Amino acid sequence: FLCFPEIHGISFRIQISVKELLGTDVLLKLLFHLPVNYPSTLPDISVNSDQLTRAQCMDVKDKLLEQAKKHLCEPMVHDLILWVQQHLKDVIKQSATVCNEKTTLSKGTEDGIWMLLLHLDHMRAKAKYVKTVEKWASNLRLTGRLMFMGKIILILLQGDRSSIKEYLILQKTSKVDVDSSRKKCREKMMSVLCETEIQSQQKRFQTFEVKEYSTLEELQKEFETAGLTTLFSEFVPPLLK
C-alpha cells in the first residue's frame, strides 16, 4: 500500500489476490487517484493483472467506475475493493461472452480518438525515461511521438480516451526519473498543453516513435504532416520564450 499526497489529490496502489478464478489466484494491481474534491468527484482507476488480458482489465475498470457512481459523495475505495473481490469472476465470464459482440459494436460507438500533448521540463535519466514512455504507449495501444528539440521535450499521444487518461495517471504517479542526487522520483515538472478529441482533418499516427529534431522548422513539419499546424502554433512557440 503506497500513498503520496500531491497537489492534484492522492494516489495509491493496492494489490489484491482474488481466489478460485478458473482454479487459480488472480493478482490484481489497482491504482486509485483521488482528486482533491473526492468523494464528490469520482476517482481515476487503473487496473492491471498479468493473468488477465488488456480487455478484461478494461472491463474490470469500467465495472468499478459504475460501482463508484453509486457511492458518489461517500468514501468508496474500501467498498470498491470488496466489490471486485466478490464479483471479479462474473466480470471475467461476462467479458468473454460479450467480447465478440463488442468488437463489432464498439468501432462506431467508442467516444472517438483522443489526443494529448505534454511538455516535460527535463529528463535526467533519459534512456530509462524514454524506455518507460515507449512501454506505456505500447501497453495502452497509443500512437504518437516523443519529441526532442533543443531543450524542448514533448509527448504527443493518440488513442482511446480511457487509455489517454490511464497514461496520464502513470505519468503523474510513477517514479520515471531521478532527482539531482540520482534518487528515483516522480515527474513533477510536466504540463498538459492540450487534451482533445481528434478532428477529421487531423491524421492518426500509425506508430509511436522517439524523434530528435535539430531545428524548429523540422519539428513544425512533423506537426503539419499530421494536420496539427494549429496545435503547433498555439502551444510550441510559447515554450521557446
The string of DSSP codes covering 130-149 is HHHHHHHHHHTT-EEEEEEE
- d(CA 44, CA 112) in angstroms, rounded, equals 20
pTM of the model: 0.54
Q: Residues near 62 by Cβ (< 8 Å), separated by ≥ 6?
A: none
Would you say 203 and 227 are in contact if contact means Cβ atoms under 8 Å apart? yes
Would you say 34 and 9 are in contact if contact means Cβ atoms under 8 Å apart? yes
Residue 213's beta-bridge partner residues?
Answer: 149
Domains and CATH numbers, the chain: 10-98 (3.10.110.10), 113-239 (3.30.70.100)
What pLDDT, on a 0 to 100 scale, did the predictor assign at position 111? 55
What pLDDT, on a 0 to 100 scale, did the predictor assign at position 21? 55
Residue 115: strand, helix, or coil: strand
Pairing type for strands 113-120 and 9-21 reads: unpaired
Q: Residue 123, Cβ neighbours under 10 Å: how many?
A: 18
Would you say 40 and 72 are in contact if contact means Cβ atoms under 8 Å apart? yes
What pLDDT, on a 0 to 100 scale, did the predictor assign at position 178? 65
What pLDDT, on a 0 to 100 scale, did the predictor assign at position 211? 94
- d(CA 163, CA 173) in angstroms, rounded, equals 15
Per-residue pLDDT for the chain (241 aa), expressed as one digit of tens each? 444 554 567 888 888 888 755 567 788 899 988 888 888 888 889 998 888 888 888 889 999 999 999 988 888 999 999 999 888 888 877 765 554 443 333 333 345 789 999 998 888 878 888 999 999 999 899 999 999 999 899 999 999 988 998 998 888 888 876 677 778 777 777 888 888 888 776 788 889 999 999 999 999 999 998 889 888 988 898 888 7
190 CB burial (10 A radius; 0-12, 13-18, 19+): middle
- d(CA 24, CA 52) in angstroms, rounded, equals 12
Q: Which amino acid is at 66?
A: E
- d(CA 239, CA 241) in angstroms, rounded, equals 6
Q: Which three cell numbers stand for residue 130?
A: 524514454
Residue 90 has φ and ψ, to the nearest 5°, of -65, -40
For residue 62, give the nearest of 111, 104, 26 by alpha carbon: 111
Q: Residues near 19 by Cβ (< 8 Å), separated by ≥ 6?
A: 25
Q: Which amino acid is at 211?
A: K
